[in-house]
Amino acid sequence: MRTIVSYSEVRRTEERMPDATMSTKGQVVIPAEIRRSLGLGRKVAFRVEERDGSIVLTPIRDLSWRSLRGSLSGDFLTAALEMERRSDRERES
């Protein structure tokens, strides 16, 4: 089923949404107002998905893997993998 949207409705939506541009390296800067509203700091990792022709970025907050680089071993790796899989299952259902 196709949804018909009026030009004025599209225009109002566009006015509320800041633009971002992709660099030649594929980098996109998330506008400051969005970063502030979501509480995103430096070096946040994102899950990147394509949905219905759109790019969806989801911050990964449950594990700061960069700060733990080199210290992961043994049971901790298993627990981290189980946590990630549980998160994936919840998102898919």
Q: How do the domains of the chain map onto residue ranges?
A: 7-18+28-92
The 10s digit of each residue's pLDDT in 5-58 is 555 555 555 556 778 888 999 999 988 888 888 888 887 888 899 999 999 998
User: 3-state DSSP helix/strand/coil percent for the chain, to nearest 5?
Assistant: 40, 15, 45
> When comparing pLDDT for 79 and 59, which is higher?
59
3 has pLDDT over 80: no
How is residue 80 written in tokens? 């981290």
Q: Measure the CA–CA gap between 90 and 7, rounded to whole angstroms.
A: 36
Q: Measure the CA–CA gap between 46 and 38, rounded to whole angstroms.
A: 13
Q: What integer pLDDT is reported at residue 16 of this predicted model?
A: 66
Q: What integer pLDDT is reported at residue 15 of this predicted model?
A: 59
* Residue reference for tokens 């627990």: 79
Could you tell me the pTM of the whole model? 0.46
* Residue reference for tokens 């969005």: 34
Q: What integer pLDDT is reported at residue 24 of this predicted model?
A: 92
